[in-house]
Every structure is written in C-alpha cells, then in structure tokens.
Chain A
C-alpha cells in the first residue's frame, strides 16, 4: 500500500546551518507530495507541495524536489532560524481523497 518514510529525529541544528530531512515514499501511480509543519499546540500547516515528477515545491526558504526515480521528496533549507523549530511531516496522496503521513521529524534550532 501507499506509505511515507521519513528520517527519525530529533534533529538539532545551530542557527544558519543547512537542513535536510529525508523522505521516501511507496505508491502506485503518480501521487502528489507534500510537506507540512506543526508548531507546538497547533494543527499542521501546509509548507510546500509538488504534484508531478521533477516539480520543485518551495516556500519560506524551504525546498523539496519530487524525484520519481528515487521515490524521494527531501526537504531542504539553506539557513535555518530559531523560528523554524517545529515538527515536519512528509505526506502523499494518490487521489486527493486520503493522505498518508510520515511519522514526523522534530527540528530544534539553537541560537
């Protein structure tokens, strides 16, 4: 069945460090891929998305490229800030009717 595997955390980085959170997926067909972010005490917020192979989603300095050949959608940011501290979820949907989420990766950025 469809599923998402993302790197386990927690991840701790110093401010201005480079961030990569790995995400790989298993799906039939051509799913759409998403990254969501969850701040403490809040629901999930859509960070970026890509709907077809080789698409690059980007938002707030974060980027992820839909790689069908490696079934991956790794999240990257060139210079993290303390305000980026949150839990990040990779997700896919094959049809738009149901989403499959990874287990989440907790990121802490220290000054």
Chain B
C-alpha cells in the first residue's frame, strides 16, 4: 500500500514569505502529526490532527498552523518565514492509539 506522501520534497523561500506543505497519510489512517527536525533541536512536535480536529499542539509560535481535511490529508502553513524555520518537516500518520507512526520522507524547507 502507498506510504505517507509529502509534497513538495524541497522548497526554498525568502524571509517574510509564507509556505504551505502537504501530507497524504496512509489510507485508513486518521491521525496525522507534524514534526520539525533540525540538527540542533532534533525532532520537535508541531501538532496532531485526528478526524479534522487538532488534538495536540507543540510549543511553536502561532505562525505555524495546520489543518486536516475530511479525507485525512493534512496541510501545515508557516507564515512570515524566518531563517530559523529552515528544517526538515516530517509528517507521520497512524491508526491511532499505540501503533506507532509511519513517516513520510519529509519536506526540506530552506529560508534565505
């Protein structure tokens, strides 16, 4: 079966711009989570959605937002980009409970 698909794979944006990243979870997975991965901070939790509702949110500023659609696909948006937002953004989906995540390959965002 198809895995978690993230688009685009690579993105270069300028400071002050906004960006939208997309994630298609594994069919049947209703839980979608987003993480930011950087060499200095490791994996940091952004938010988790289940059935179009945000269930958990990490400690990120309001510039980071997300949503989930009725087909479980999810998007995250970052507004007013800063250089420090350069990172690998990983989406993960799960059947829920304690099954563990299946991760996508990530979107590498570079802010210049």
Contact = CB atoms under 8 A, between A and B. Distances in A.
Given A97-B48, A99-B33, A101-B43, A43 B90 contact: yes
Interface stretch (B14-22, B61-69, B70-78, B93-101): B93-101
B28 interface: no
Contact of A32 (B35, B56, B58, B98): B98
Contacts of A41: 105
B104 A51 contact: no
Given A43-B90, A89-B43, A98 B48 contact: yes
Interface residues of B, number: 27
A49 B55 contact: no
Contacts, number: 55
Nearest to A45: B103
> Which of A46, A49, A97, A101 gathers the greatest number of chain B CB atoms within 10 Å?
A97
12 contacts: A36-B103, A43-B4, A43-B103, A43-B106, A44-B90, A46-B102, A51-B98, A96-B96, A97-B48, A97-B50, A97-B55, A99-B101
Interface of B: 4, 6, 31, 33, 35, 42-43, 45, 48, 50, 55-56, 58, 90, 92, 94, 96-106
Interface of A: 32, 34, 36, 41-46, 49, 51, 89, 93, 96-104
